[in-house]
Amino acid sequence: MNIRRLTLKQKRAFLGVAFITPWLLGFVFLFATPLIQSLRFSFSELKVAPGGYTLDFIGLKNFKDALFVDPNYNRILTQSLSEMAWNVPMILFFSLFTATLLNSKFKGRPIARAIFFLPVILASGAVASAQSSGLIQLTGSSEVAQELGLAQNGFDPLSLVFMLAQAGLPDIFIEYIVDAVQRIYEIISSSGVQILIFLAALQSVPVTMYEVAKMEGATPYETFWKITFPMVSPLILTNIIYTIIDSFTESQLTRTIYTTAFQAQNFGLSASMSWIYTLVISIVLIVVGILVSRKVFYYN
């Protein structure tokens, strides 16, 4: 009996399906029902009844109220999108730069990696909830720590602005760099997972490529742009998508949706806001995925 062997492409496809199987099972058994329920809420008016609740179909009224009646939703949605577009390149650049440094061989490298990932652990939901409930007491809020750090390190943004202006940079780049320096704690807190992903990508680059480049006389600058950057480009796309989604986790938009549902008790309007937000983010992810994937290099 002859058993047809799987081709390399079929093996990779099988591994891909096996990799996403836990997520598919979790989606089907945990998230599919609430997703369909929220879609029903968005087209209905929910009324609390003695035995639970009733749904009266009202069509697109909740969507119209969210876009044209609510005085804050459009502004908050636009502001969240602009903040996301402003923060994503900043986080990606810092993550790739830090991962490249941490991938180098030097004494104390494990400790340095732990230090860069520590703000992510401290900013996690479990630690933040424990601190807010009084179970643990750390250094205080991140805003206070950032203010104290800026007050003690003697950083003067005017000197940096003057130096960058002397270098001939446009005003928009100067503002962007100064804002990144002033928000370094927030950037580090938002870059932990991205740094780990970039580290994994850097460690998967074949060492032989660097050896050949060194033998050919390539400079470190040329090695980075000709070998390192193309080899990690698939993970750049992954990190872009992750950072875009993660930027809305604790945004003002998600807080508005939450308060509309559980404080204003308007579950239909809250569900419609959620679906508008989901549609907008999906469009952003599709556009970004198409544009970035054209520049991605896949090593086979």
C-alpha to C-alpha distance for 249 and 267, rounded to whole angstroms: 19
Is residue 227 one of the residues assigned to a domain? yes
What would the mean pLDDT of 247-274 be, rounded to a whole number?
Answer: 87
Q: Quickly state the pLDDT bin for 43 (edges 50, 70, 90).
A: very high
- Alpha helices (H) along 103-124: 109-122
Question: What tokens appear for 228 in the block?
Answer: 């390192």
Q: Tokens 């032989």 — which residue?
A: 208
What would the mean pLDDT of 206-222 be, rounded to a whole number?
Answer: 88
- Residue among 148, 126, 151 at smallest CA distance from 139: 148
Is residue 31 one of the residues assigned to a domain? no
Is residue 8 one of the residues assigned to a domain? no
Phi, psi (rounded to 5 degrees) for 23: -65, -40
Q: Which residues of 45-63 are buried (b: 16+ CB within 10 A; e: fewer)?
A: bbeeeeeeeeeeeeeebbb
Which amino acid, 217? G
Is residue 5 one of the residues assigned to a domain? no
C-alpha to C-alpha distance for 192 and 95, rounded to whole angstroms: 8
What would the mean pLDDT of 281-286 be, rounded to a whole number?
Answer: 92
Say yes or no to pLDDT of 162 above 80. Answer: no
Q: pTM value?
A: 0.77
What would the mean pLDDT of 228-251 be, rounded to a whole number?
Answer: 87
Is residue 6 one of the residues assigned to a domain? no
Q: Total structural domains in the chain?
A: 1
Q: Quickly state the pLDDT bin for 144 (edges 50, 70, 90).
A: low
Q: What is the pLDDT of residue 4?
A: 67
**What CATH number is associated with residue 229?**
1.10.3720.10
Looking at every residue in the chain, the average pLDDT score rounds to 82
Which amino acid, 251? S
Taking residue 112's Cβ as centre, other Cβ atoms within 10 Å add up to: 15
The whole-angstrom distance between residue 285's C-alpha and the CA centroid of its chain comes to 12
Is residue 255 one of the residues assigned to a domain? yes
Is residue 185 one of the residues assigned to a domain? yes
Phi, psi (rounded to 5 degrees) for 104: -75, 155
Say yes or no to pLDDT of 142 above 60. Answer: no
Say yes or no to pLDDT of 128 above 80. Answer: no
Q: Quickly state the pLDDT bin for 285 (edges 50, 70, 90).
A: very high
What whole-number percentage of the chain has pLDDT above 70? 85
Domain span at residue 235 reads: 44-293
Residue 146, SS3 per DSSP? helix
Q: What is the pLDDT of residue 279?
A: 93
Structure-model confidence comparison of residues 163 and 198, the more confident one: 198
> How distant, in Å, are the alpha carbons of 77, 98, 112, 129 from that of 187?
22, 12, 17, 21
Is residue 102 one of the residues assigned to a domain? yes
Q: What is the pLDDT of residue 239?
A: 92
What would the mean pLDDT of 15-37 be, rounded to a whole number?
Answer: 91
Phi, psi (rounded to 5 degrees) for 58: -130, 10
C-alpha to C-alpha distance for 128 and 143, rounded to whole angstroms: 13
**β-strands 52-57, 44-49: how paired?**
antiparallel
